[in-house]
C-alpha cells in the first residue's frame, strides 16, 4: 500500500502548515544542486501551495522531508535544517515569545499559538521539579514522521537558548519514533542523549530554567504581538483529530510492549471498551483492521532501514517471534521480509 493512499484513508481533514521546514529543505536541495520538482510532486505539494501561507498540508511536508532525506542521503535532515536557520522565520510566533518576560512566559505563548504555523501541533507545558514541554500531533498520524518532529524539537531547544542568551541543555529529550545508529553528534547538539522509542515527544529542562529572564523582553511589543496572535488564532479552525488517527497515535507507543490491545487503547482514550467499539463501528472501522494496517505501514518503513534486524522490527511491532512477523509480512505482500528489502534496496539504487 502506498503511503499517500494510507494517509487519505485515515484522515478526514488535513491540517495545514506554513511550510517552514519544507522551504528550508528546498533551499538545501538548491545548495546541493538537486532539482526539487520530482520530490515535490511525489510528496503531493502543488506549485501553487508554495506561495500560499498555510497552503501546504502537514502530511505533504512530512513526506517531502522523508524524500529529501533520501535524495541528500542525510538521515538526520530535520536536525540539519533546524541547526542554522534564522529563528525569526518563525514569524509572529517568534516575536510573541522573544518579547516575553521569562522563558516560561515564552513557552506559554508557544503552547497557545503553535498552530498558527502548523495546524497539527499541540504543545503542552508542565512545571514541577522539571520544566517539561511535550509536542504532539492532531489530525496527523505520528508514526509517519521522524524528520519534522526532530526539526521542531531542536528548533524549540535553539529558540530557548537564543531567548535566554545561554546554551542551556535539556535534562532529557524524548522521541516517540525509533532510531538506530550513531548518536554522538545528536547528543552534542541537544546537550543530552535523546531517548528514542519513548511514549511521548518531550523536552525537559531543570525547573529553574522556567524563570530565566529573556534578553529581549519588551512588554509593549509583547502586548502587540499577543493581540495579533489572538486575532489570528480566532480565525483558525480547531485542530481536532479524526478518531482513527487518534487510535493510531495511541497504538504506536504500546506496540513494543506487546500491549496494543483494544481494552488498553480504550482506557488510554478514557473510554469503556463498549463505547470504544461503538465509536469505531460508527466510522466503519474495527480495532483489528486499524492495528493490522498500522503494523504493515510501520513494517515497510522499518524494513527500509537496512540497519534494523528483522528480530528488532518484530519486537517494535509487538510480535512475540520474528517468525510471526515474517508470516504477517508474507500475508500482506506475498514476500518475506528479506525479499522485500532486496527489492527496495535495488529500486532505491536505481
> For residues 180 and 304, is the Cβ–Cβ distance under 8 A?
no
Mean pLDDT of 68-89: 96
**pLDDT over 70 (residue 161):** yes
What is the rounded CA–CA span in Å between residue 335 and residue 310? 14
CA 69 and chain centroid, separation:
15
Within 10 angstroms of residue 148's Cβ, the number of other Cβ atoms is 28
What is the rounded CA–CA span in Å between residue 197 and residue 252? 9
What is the rounded CA–CA span in Å between residue 240 and residue 137? 10
Assigned C-alpha cell, 301 = 518503513
Sketch out the chain's domains with CATH numbers. Answer: 3-234 (no CATH), 243-349 (1.10.10.60)
The SS3 assignment for 44 reads coil
pLDDT digits (tens, 9 = 90+) for 220-244: 999 999 999 999 888 876 654 578 8
- Among residues 340, 350, 254, 251, which one has the least CA distance to residue 301? 340
pLDDT digits (tens, 9 = 90+) for 245-297: 889 889 999 999 888 999 999 999 999 999 999 988 877 788 998 898 889 88
Tell me the H-state helices in the chain.
Answer: 3-10, 20-31, 37-43, 58-72, 77-84, 92-98, 103-113, 147-164, 184-190, 219-234, 243-251, 262-268, 273-282, 287-303, 310-316, 322-333, 337-349
pLDDT for 218: 95
pLDDT digits (tens, 9 = 90+) for 90-145: 999 999 999 999 999 999 999 989 989 998 898 988 888 899 999 998 888 898 89
Amino acid at each position: 500500500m502506498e503511503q499517500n493512499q494510507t494517509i487519505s484513508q485515515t484522515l478526514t481533514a488535513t491540517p495545514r502548515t506554513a511550510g517552514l521546514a519544507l522551504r528550508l529543505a528546498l533551499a538545501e536541495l538548491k545548495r546541493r544542486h538537486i532539482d526539487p520538482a520530482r520530490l515535490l510532486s511525489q510528496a503531493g505539494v502543488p506549485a501553487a501551495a508554495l506561495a500560499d501561507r498555510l497552503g501546504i498540508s502537514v502530511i505533504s511536508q512530512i513526506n517531502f522531508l522523508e524524500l529529501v532525506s533520501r535524495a541528500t542521503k542525510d538521515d538526520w535532515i530535520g536536525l540539519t535544517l533546524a541547526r542554522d536557520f534564522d529563528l525569526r522565520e518563525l514569524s509572529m510566533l517568534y516575536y510573541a515569545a522573544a518579547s516575553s518576560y521569562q522563558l516560561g512566559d515564552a513557552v506559554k505563548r508557544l503552547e497557545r499559538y503553535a498552530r498558527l504555523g502548523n495546524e497539527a501541533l499541540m504543545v503542552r507545558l508542565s512545571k514541577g521539579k522539571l520544566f517539561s514541554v511535550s509536542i504532539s500531533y492532531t489530525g496527523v498520524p505520528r508514526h509517519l514522521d521522524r524528520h519534522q518532529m526532530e526539526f521542531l524539537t531542536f528548533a524549540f531547544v535553539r529558540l530557548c537558548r537564543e531567548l535566554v542568551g545561554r546554551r542551556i541543555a535539556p535534562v532529557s529529550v524524548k522521541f516517540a519514533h525509533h532510531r538506530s545508529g550513531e548518536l554522538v553528534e545528536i547528543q552534542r547538539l541537544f546537550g543530552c542523549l535523546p531517548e528514542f522509542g519513548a511514549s511521548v515527544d518531550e523536552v525537559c529542562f531543570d525547573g529553574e530554567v522556567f524563570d530565566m529572564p529573556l534578553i529581549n523582553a519588551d512588554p509593549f511589543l509583547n502586548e502587540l504581538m499577543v493581540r495579533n496572535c489572538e486575532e489570528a488564532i480566532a480565525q483558525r479552525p480547531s485542530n481536532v483529530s479524526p478518531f482513527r488517527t487518534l487510535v493510531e497515535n495511541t497504538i504506536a507507543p504500546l506496540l513494543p510492549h506487546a500491549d496494543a490491545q483494544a481494552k488498553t487503547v480504550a482506557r488510554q482514550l478514557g473510554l469503556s471498551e463498549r463505547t470504544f467499539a461503538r465509536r469505531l463501528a460508527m466510522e466503519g472501522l474495527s480495532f483489528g483492521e486499524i492495528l493490522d494496517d498500522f503494523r504493515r505501514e510501520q513494517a515497510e518503513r522499518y524494513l527500509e532501514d537496512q540497519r534494523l534486524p528483522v528480530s528488532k522490527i518484530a519486537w517494535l511491532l509487538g510480535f512475540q517471534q520474528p517468525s510471526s512477523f515474517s508470516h504477517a509480512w508474507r500475508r500482506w505482500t506475498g514476500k518475506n521480509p528479506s525479499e522485500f528489502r532486496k527489492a527496495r534496496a535495488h529500486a532505491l539504487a536505481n
